Structures are given as C-alpha cells and as structure tokens.
A and B are shown apart, each in its own frame.
Chain A
Amino acid sequence: MTAQQTTGTQSSARLGRDDLARLIASDIAPGSYVNLGIGQPTLVADHLTPERGVVLHTENGMLGMGAQAHGEDVDHDLINAGKIPVTELPGASYFHHADSFAMMRGGHLDVCVLGAFQVSAAGDLANWSTGAPEAIPAVGGAMDLAAGAKQVFVMMTLFAKDGSPKLVPECTYPVTGLGCVTRVYTDHGVFLLDRRADGSVRLVLREAHGITVEELRRRLGVPFEVASGV
C-alpha cells in the first residue's frame, strides 16, 4: 500500500504522458518484477531508478533488461518484445519462451503495465483488436500478460479522441482478458479496482487531475466511489 492509495489528491491540470509514467513508477514497490507493455508503458522505465531494485521482464526471454541500446551498445541478439535493441543489467538472466510465459502465467510477475482501448468497470481489458473487419488480427503476449501478472495496471487516456470514455460499463471491443485489471492510470485520474470476495468489483477514484468529480460522474457511464481527500 502506498500513501497515495489512502490519501487522494486533486490537481488542476491533467497529467501528461511523462507525468503519468512517473506516477506509475512511483507506485511500483521496490524489488518488484515488472513487465512493461509495448508503446506508452515503456516510458515508465525512465522513472525507475536503480536503487528501487525493480527488475524488468521482457517476454521474449529475459529478466534484468536495461535501457534501450544505442550505437556501439547495440547487440543483434539482444532485443525487447518490441524488437528494439536493449541492454542487460548485472544479474540479468535469459530463458526460452515457454519459461518466460510460465513466469507470467504462473503469477510470478508482480506488475504489468499495459495500454488499452477500453477497460470495463468489472476490470475486463480490451487492448488487442478493434474488431474492424478489414484488420489483420494480432495478439502477441497481451492475453498472457493480462491473465498472468499479479497486478495489471492500465495506462491510457481516459477519453478517446471523439470524447467518448474508455472506462466503460462493458467493453465493446473484443476483450483481452476478463476481470484482470487492478488499476487504471489516466491523464484525468487514477482508478482502483478492488475485487470483493463475491467477485464483484469496487471502482474507486484515487485522484483526479484537471477535472472535477462531478464532471467525471457526468462523462463516465460507470458509477464509482471517491477516495477521501479527492
């Protein structure tokens, strides 16, 4: 439990991508094993200082992944899941694909951070397909990460370009996994999804940025509780 879970905050401006990445990084417990999804979630790595001891996993078969490699540091046998050259940190290890996904599916990763098209109030995640008929489907490791990590953090904008909310009563896009999301980090605020013993989910606004709780209630089609202090 971090302090921010119980004491909500509110700021006047919405969070930029970098601020959001910093916020997520600060919420990851020291010593965690973490997988950062392709795209925006990789920004979180920039804010994980070495003294935190967070170990990054890349699903193509490595723990202890370092920063992106440049120039002479590029090794053609060392890439991340996004196929970008990376570096290895002291203490790194390599393993084959089945072991890598067993690590994930077996619940050994503490946190994964994924992008999303939509998250439902029940914690269903949609991030792999828009369901467009002409699109060629591709899933990669998204479903494995959603099903496997102990905590699934979603990093996304709260509203789509057309203004429609991405936190929804039920996903309209094809789902990646059911009831898997534990937190949603957005430019306008952070939502916690607490699963009750009966399987239902309590959705709590932990902090809001650049938007009032009243406007959030009006624009989101889902009911939510508000943490004290927000």
Chain B
Amino acid sequence: MITIAEDAAEAVGQVLDGSTVLLGGFGNPGQPMELIDALLDSGARDLTVVNNNAGQADAGLALLIKERRVAKMICSFPRQSDSWHFDEAYRAGEIELELVPQGNLAERLRAAGAGIGGFFTPTGYGTVLAEGKETRVIDGRGYVLEQPLPGDIALIKALRADEAGNLVYRKTARNFGPVMAAAAARTVVQVDELVPVGGIDPEHVITPGIHVNTVTVIPTASGEAALKEIA
C-alpha cells in the first residue's frame, strides 16, 4: 500500500540526520526539485547524497550543499560550469566526495535493489578509481569488485503514478528513477498526474508499485505539456 501525500513536505516527512538520500535526475529531466526543496526545509543534515552530479546553479541539490547539509556526495560528475556551491564546499574541505564511474553508480544502485552483494565490473580496472578495491582476472580480463549502494530514502520524479504506486516516466527523465526506487528503504515520488488503479496499462508500467512508498502530485511545466500531448 502506498501513501498519497498532500504536498512535498508531507511526502518527504522526517528524514533522519545522517541518512543516505538517493536523488533522481540527470540534468533537469527527472530531478525531483520540489521534493529536494522539501528536504532542504526539513532541516535534515549530515546527509550522504547520491546523484549523478553535485548540484547545478542555485537550485535543489546545490542549495543543500550551499547550506552544508551534505556531508558526503557520491556521484560520477561533480564538476560542471555551474557547480559553484559544490566546488566551494569541496575546496574548503567541507564535503567528502566519492567519485564513481557513471555505470558503476547505476549498477551499484541496481545491485542494492536486487539483493546482490557486490559485482565484478571491468569499468575502472587499472585506474585510480579502483585503488584499494579487490580485483580479479576472469577469462583473461580484469574486473573490479564494486559494492551495492542502498539508500535510506529515494526522492524521484515520474510523469504518472496510479494509486497502486506503479510509475511511468517520460523520455530521458527515466534515468536513475527505477534503480533508485528499488535501492531505497523508502521511496518518495513526485508525479505530474495520479490516476486510479487500472489507469496505467500493466504492460506499460516501468517501476512496479512494490518499490514505491509515497506519491505526491506536483504539476510541472514539462509534465503539463506532455500530458496535453497524449490527452
């Protein structure tokens, strides 16, 4: 059973200090901006945040970092032209960085959701990002042991949910949503549209409701345009 929350604040609720928070999105598509704002308002601190990047400009994750609420960032690409809040915190030694190749990041999340205790990947073998990690040569090829990456809470965005928590995403906004939903103990989803049970063709469900705990409806510009398109 899922909970339908009235707004982002209720959906995010109490996040304990020190939690590991999985934040969906790659670029703007799939970023649960309103849920991140609610996380900021909740006051939770000493967070470990997992996202592909480390915040952009003056919004969302960048503001969490600016307010020094993030103790550790686990990401693949922190440095961007507009990642100034992360850059400043990092150079001041006020945020820890765990740099993970993008595919290893996705697969570590997938492994956590799938109950896999670790996996050997060729990505990163022989590089500084594999230093200190167990390696193995399998059929003549080098592999690195990577650990699963579970979260206490996932904040993600989808286009549509039904009241059973089944999710449909839109285009490249899907990105990390499905693997983060499965990898977190509690998954909170913001959607543009909530439909009754049966309102999504079961063949079209991308994330089954078993991976979802809370849904809240937050209309966004991109979702509005998309829903008009298919209406």
Chain A contact residues, CB within 8 Å of chain B = 58-62, 75-79, 83, 88, 94-98, 100-102, 104-105, 124, 129, 135-144, 147-148, 174-178
B177 on interface, CB distance cutoff 8 Å: yes
| Nearest-CB residue, chain A, relative to B127 | A175
Pairwise interchain contact B226-A105, C-beta atoms closer than 8 A: no
* Pairwise interchain contact B170-A104, C-beta atoms closer than 8 A: no
Q: State which of B63-71, B117-125, B197-205, B209-217 sits at the interface with chain A.
A: B117-125
- Residue interface bits B110-138, CB-to-A below 8 A is 1, else 0: 10000000000111111111000000000
Complex CA–CA separation, A124 to B97 (angstroms): 26
Please, could you name 19 A-B residue pairs with CB atoms under 8 Å apart, sorted by A?
A61-B26, A61-B174, A61-B175, A78-B172, A79-B29, A96-B176, A97-B105, A98-B107, A98-B110, A98-B179, A101-B102, A105-B103, A105-B123, A139-B101, A141-B103, A144-B103, A147-B122, A175-B126, A176-B127
* B129 CB contacts on chain A under 8 angstroms: 139, 143
Known A105-B123, A147-B122: A137·B99 in contact at CB below 8 Å: yes
Q: Are B99 and A97 in contact (CB under 8 A)?
A: no
Q: Are A60 and B127 in contact (CB under 8 A)?
A: no
Which among B29, B79, B102, B124 has the highest number of chain A CB atoms within 10 Å?
B102
**A143 x B124 contact (CB < 8 A):** yes
Q: How far is the CA of A204 from the CA of B103 in the complex (A)?
A: 32
In the complex, what residues of B have CB within 8 A of residue A148's CB? 103, 122-123
Interface hits, B132-191 → A, CB 8 Å: 142, 169-179
The 8 A-B residue pairs whose C-beta atoms are closest, nearest first, are A101-B103, A144-B103, A97-B106, A76-B222, A83-B27, A98-B110, A178-B126, A141-B102
